[in-house]
Amino acid sequence: MECIINRRAQFSASHRYWLPELDEAENQRLFGACTRFPGHGHNYVLYVSLIGEIDQYGMVENLSTVKQVIKEEVTSQLDYSYLNDVWEEFQNTLPTTENLARVIWQRLVPHLPLVNIQLFEHPQLWAQYQGNAMKASLTIQTHFSAAHRLALPELSLEENTKIYGKCARPHGHGHNYHLEVSVTGEIDPRTGMLVDLVALQKVVNDYVVEPFDHNFLNKDIPYFAQVVPTAENIALYIAQLLQKPIKELGANLDKVKLIESPNNSCEIYCGQSSESSQELTYQEPALAMTN
């Protein structure tokens, strides 16, 4: 039986996003503050996932060997480096998070049975790559605070309490929601980007964060006048809102994860291979943006 194991590593490095064939205004539009000279740095966290059969020693791979390979092929070369110059792959394609994950895969795959590379540029931005040519995924994390009440209007308070417990109390309650939005697409061979990150962050902010933040979802978001705003229903509605505008950016919405509390979260998978993607019916953005 196959088993997947994961090895964590980290390195600190700097980089700059700048294409010499573009003028300053266009570079600023594409990359924002990342164009600043001489660059900026991150504490990267890398997760290397390996797949294989469990051997007679109870291992997929000897972790001491895995650790050494990752150090020799990746971290010892990247740690405290300027990414634009350290590897030849970044001479023609910028070292974005998604492109860096792709190149790390290429460096490791001759030595290890890889199944996934996950690279965190910081806790609110990470990429995953699984060896599929130029295709990768990128995830951004954001948050909003909102109140809700879980209750069906046709039921009494007693009946709703039996279903939803304390969440049915008449005046509602609030959460600090954490939202993760994952998109997939092809890495551009010049910019290294699978999507305009600034534009993606603006879409999530305009369609979700601003309309939802510091509102009572049942009363301030018309959609939830008829739909109980459970974490599951909120995540599904967010996926409905984001599918079309993300598609217009040239990427595909892959997953929406909503963390309601440290003990409660849910995920909506929107990829074309997911059955759930067929259930997503797009709602007009104006519906969610009406306060």
Catalytic residues: 167, 214, 260
The C-alpha atoms of residue 168 and residue 161 are separated, in whole angstroms, by: 5
Say which amino acid occupies 104: I
172 CB neighbour count, 10 Å cutoff: 18
Residue whose token pair is 């001489």: 38
For the chain, what percentages of helix, strand and coil (3-state, to nearest 5) are there?
40, 30, 30
DSSP, collapsed to helix, strand or coil, labels residue 10 as strand
The C-alpha atoms of residue 66 and residue 48 are separated, in whole angstroms, by: 9
The C-alpha atoms of residue 288 and residue 210 are separated, in whole angstroms, by: 10
The C-alpha atoms of residue 61 and residue 81 are separated, in whole angstroms, by: 29
